[in-house]
Amino acid sequence: MGNETVSVRILDKDYQVACPPEERQALLESARLLDERMREIKRSGSVIGLERIAVMVALNLSHELMQAEQRSTEGMRERLSQLNYKLDTALTGGPKADKD
């Protein structure tokens, strides 16, 4: 299936972006979030210039993504550890004994 052109508006500027039809809604939501974050930084007055605002938003979003991935990984490790304990308990009839 081919891409379609979607128009998004960010800080009062229109951009044409090509994307697969099934990703259209995600693109629109991403553009809305980007516009919202850029407006927040612009309103704060601490950063001037479209390029600098975009870089600050990109850094903030990257940081948030890294934190979410770290929390997800830590949660997965904890859950796997719990499942491992339950399996060991079920297979041996009691808590796992350390062999160290």
pTM for this model (two decimals): 0.70
Going residue by residue through the chain (100 aa), what tens digit of pLDDT does each one get?
689 999 999 999 999 999 999 999 999 999 999 999 999 999 998 888 989 999 999 999 999 999 999 989 988 888 899 988 888 888 888 665 555 5
* Size of the chain in residues: 100
Q: Provide the number of structural domains found in the chain.
A: 1
Residue 99 lies in a domain: no
Residue 98 lies in a domain: no
Which CATH number fits the domain that encloses residue 85? 3.30.160.880
Host H or E run for residue 2 = none
- Cβ distance 41 to 53 under 8 Å? yes
Residue 65 lies in a domain: yes
Residue 64's domain comprises: 4-92
pLDDT of residue 13: 94
Return the bridge partners of 14, or none.
Answer: 9
State how far the Cα of 21 lies from the Cα of 100, in Å rounded to an integer. Answer: 56
